[in-house]
Amino acid sequence: MKNFRLTVQYDGKRYSGWQRQGNTDKTVQGKIEQILSRMTGHAVEINGAGRTDAGVHARAQVANGKMNTDKTAAEIMAYLNQYLPADIAITACAEMPERFHARLNAKGKRYCYRLCDSGVPDVFTRSYVCAWDNRLDESAMREAAAYLIGTHDYRAFSSVNKRFKKSTVRTITALEIERKGQELWISVQGTGFLYNMVRILVGTLVEVGEGKRAPQSMPDILISRDRQQAGMTMPPQGLMLEEIFY
Amino acid sequence: MKNFRLTVQYDGKRYSGWQRQGNTDKTVQGKIEQILSRMTGHAVEINGAGRTDAGVHARAQVANGKMNTDKTAAEIMAYLNQYLPADIAITACAEMPERFHARLNAKGKRYCYRLCDSGVPDVFTRSYVCAWDNRLDESAMREAAAYLIGTHDYRAFSSVNKRFKKSTVRTITALEIERKGQELWISVQGTGFLYNMVRILVGTLVEVGEGKRAPQSMPDILISRDRQQAGMTMPPQGLMLEEIFY
């Protein structure tokens, strides 16, 4: 069995997320596995580095999968791109050592959340941007973001309610807010993220940007470890998995 | 009656073009007129500066229309954006002198055609770019483009077969070919364009870029005034009406 690494770009709009769910093929993982299984003649399972939610996009998701095949990496990439729908593309493929695992070996991830908070949202990027009615105060948001960088227990910023068995401590290495014309781009980089963590972080920052929360209230939210203390979960369409670091 | 100017952005994918056709509302003009007629209580007709074909997009189409209304320009824009589908947006609206006519007063137009001629086409812009299998030689294309700039009879670059009653002389003021990563952007600016002219100009340049035609053959095509001598008509999805000049 050879181990291949795939770099995957997708528009998440039509999909119920990355991760295969039973027999449905409305997942990105399911679509790719189906084609690889047909190509190799045996069941292929792939591991994605980031399990993006329904409606979330990826510019460069990374996955790996083991296959019995004589095809080269370039041939596998061409085969996949021939059969994948137009909203999923393989942008790179490489053979890797047997031990490479896209999720377990990932050292970090970067996400970007796009909001349009002024003017008329651009028609051509509307599927990748969250339209927001109120103009946001990005300097207050930057002040709040500074409290969220570092190594913290982010349990308050996660959707899972049941008691966590595993650690909810993560490290955010960068959290940048940039104005790009009518839009705000919120870029979050870290070692790993809890379920819905980026969308709740952004939702909390948006509430700061609207003046509903003080930037200085961030440490109390972290300390509370209580989901109720953090802000709303932002809708998925503005979120893009940008990069996986190894 | 007040005369309003609208700047219109649209994704042309779902539409059979700008210009209203009978009772169908699968045109951009039809969609806008329908809402303005409901808003004013009388039939409103709008004039678009560029009558884009089915599947062609516009970043800043300009139209004008006369209306009986007490609403301000900002209110009309908000009303339209409230009822328009997500793939059409009004990005500006202003009251104009009675004589302003979006098409008759236009001094020039700029179109841009995007081709992806290498690598895997980007998933997020796939609706606005024409994927091309062969890498194109952009320096040969630039050499050919230089012959096409100026004031010429462009009859060979127009789809209409029947004898032209009106002049087919036009002026192209700029024709630029720029490489943007995996893509070529072909930008054409001129005083006006014949039916399908931009798509045939681009198709001819693409054949030059593939080595099927010599750049030096452009003058002969112009002189022939024969559609058969020019290149293919490119598909609509790569074409964007960028700007109207007054």
Residue A230 lies in a domain: yes
C-alpha distance from B153 to closest chain A C-alpha (Å): 34
Q: State whether A33 and A146 are in the same domain.
A: no
Q: Residue A152 has what pLDDT?
A: 96
Q: Tell me, what's the pLDDT at A112?
A: 98
Q: How do residues B62-86 score in pLDDT, each as one tens digit?
A: 999 999 999 999 999 999 999 999 9
DSSP string, chain A: -EEEEEEEEE-GGGSS-SS--TT---SHHHHHHHHHHHHHSS---EEESS-PPTT-EEEEEEEEEEE-----HHHHHHHHHHHS-TTEEEEEEEEE-TT--TTTT--EEEEEEEEE-SSSPPSTTGGGSEE-SSPP-HHHHHHHHHHH-EEEE-GGG----SPPSS--EEEEEEEEEEEETTEEEEEEEES---TTHHHHHHHHHHHHHTTSS-GGGHHHHHHHT-GGGS-PPPPGGGEEEEEEE-
Q: What is the CATH number of the domain that holds A131?
A: 3.30.70.660
pLDDT of B89: 98
Active site residue B53: yes
Q: Which residues pair with A151 in a beta bridge?
A: A171
Examine residue B128 and state whether it is found in any structural domain, yes or no: yes
Chain A residues touching residue B121 (CB < 8 angstroms): 89
The shortest C-alpha distance from B71 to chain A (Å) reads: 19
Specify if B174 maps to a domain.
yes
Q: pLDDT at residue B101 above 80?
A: yes
Cα dihedral: B183, B187, B193, B195 (round 10): 0
Residue A159 belongs to a domain: yes
Taking residues B77-106, report their average pLDDT. 97
For residue B89, give the CATH number of its domain.
Answer: 3.30.70.580
Q: Would the pLDDT of B155 be above 70?
A: yes
Residue A5 has pLDDT above 70, yes or no: yes
Asked if the structure places residue B134 within a domain, the reply is: yes
CB contact under 8 A, A10 and B123: yes
Whether B80 and B31 have beta carbons less than 8 Å apart is answered as no
pLDDT digits (tens, 9 = 90+) for A131-150: 999 999 999 999 999 999 99
Q: Which residues in B lie closer than 8 A to residue A88 (C-beta atoms)?
A: 123
Mean pLDDT on B121-134: 95
Is it the case that residue B239 has pLDDT exceeding 80? yes
Q: Over the stretch B214-238, which tens digit does the pLDDT of each residue have? A: 999 999 999 999 999 999 999 999 9
Q: Are residues A70 and A139 in the same domain?
A: no
Establish if B57 touches chain A: CB-CB under 8 angstroms.
yes
Put simply, the answer to whether B120 touches A11 (Cβ < 8 Å) is no
> Do residues B69 and B122 both lie within one domain?
no
Percentage of chain A lying above the pLDDT 90 cut? 94
Q: Residue B86: its chain A contacts at CB < 8 A? A: 123, 126
Please report which confidence band the pLDDT of residue A24 belongs to, taking 50, 70 and 90 as the band edges.
Answer: low
* B241 interaction partners in chain A (CB closer than 8 Å): none
* Per-residue pLDDT tens over the stretch A32-44: 999 999 999 999 9
**A103 found inside a domain:** no
- On whether both B124 and B86 belong to a single domain, the answer is no
Give the pLDDT score at B161.
Answer: 62
pLDDT band at A22 (very low <50, low <70, confident <90, very high): confident
Alpha-carbon Rg for chain A, nearest whole angstrom, is 19
Query: Is the pLDDT confidence value at B163 over 80?
Result: no
For residues A231 and A113, state if they share a domain. yes
pLDDT digit string (tens) for A74-122? 999 999 999 999 999 999 999 999 999 999 999 999 999 999 999 999 9
- More confident site: B19 or A23: B19
pLDDT digits (tens, 9 = 90+) for A161-180: 666 678 899 999 999 999 99
Look at residue B104 and tell me whether its pLDDT is greater than 80.
yes
Average pLDDT value for residue range B170-198: 96
Are B122 and A9 inside 8 Å of each other by CB?
A: yes
pLDDT, residue B21, reads 85
Interface A:B, Cβ pairs < 8 A: 50
Verify that B145 and B224 share a domain, yes or no.
yes
Q: Is residue A102 part of a domain?
A: no
B-proximal residues of A, 64-93, CB under 8 Å: 81, 86-91
- The answer to whether residue B15 scores a pLDDT higher than 80 is yes
Compare B136 and B164 and report the one with higher pLDDT: B136
pLDDT of residue A164: 62
Task: Tell me which chain A residue has its CA closest to the CA of residue B121.
Answer: A89
**A23 and A107 in contact (C-beta within 8 Å)?**
no
Q: Are residues A226 and A120 in the same domain?
A: yes
The number of angstroms, rounded, from the C-alpha of B78 to the middle of its chain's C-alpha atoms is 25
Would you tell me which residues 194-223 of chain A have a C-beta closer than 8 angstroms to some C-beta of chain B?
A: none
| Alpha-carbon gap, residue B208 to B129, rounded angstroms | 19
Query: In this structure, are A123 and A190 located in the same domain?
Result: yes
pLDDT at B23: 66
| Structural tokens at position A192 | 């790993």
A179 lies in which domain range? 108-245
Final residue of a structural domain among A74, A96, A118 = A96
State the pLDDT at residue A21: 85
Query: Quick one: pLDDT band at residue A49, thresholds 50, 70, 90?
Result: very high
pLDDT band at B160 (very low <50, low <70, confident <90, very high): confident
Query: Which of these three, B96, B126, B158, is where a domain ends?
Result: B96
Residues 103-122 of chain B whose Cβ lies under 8 A from any Cβ of chain A: 119-122
Number of domains making up chain B? 2
What pLDDT was estimated at residue A25? 76
Whether B103 maps to a domain, the answer reads no
> Which pLDDT does position A155 carry in this prediction?
94
For residues B143 and B209, membership in a common domain is answered with yes
Q: Which of B11, B25, B53, B117 is catalytic?
A: B53
What is the Cα–Cα distance from B162 to B154, expressed in whole angstroms? 15
The contacts of residue B222 (CB under 8 Å, 6+ apart) are B147, B148, B152, B153, B154, B156
Local confidence band at B25 (pLDDT 50, 70, 90 cut-offs): confident
Same domain for A74 and A151: no
pLDDT at A23 over 70: no
- Structure tokens belonging to residue A132: 């927001």
Measured CA to CA, the distance from residue A211 to residue A140 in angstroms comes to 8
Q: What's the pLDDT at B137?
A: 97
The verdict on A130 and A218 lying in the same domain is yes
Per CB-CB distance under 8 Å, the chain A contacts of B80 are: none
Tell whether A111 is in a known binding site: yes
Together in a domain, A49 and A150: no
Task: Report whether A245 contacts A105 (CB < 8 A).
Answer: no
What is the nearest CA distance from A121 to chain B, expressed in angstroms?
Answer: 8
Last residue of one domain, picked from the residues A49, A75, A96: A96
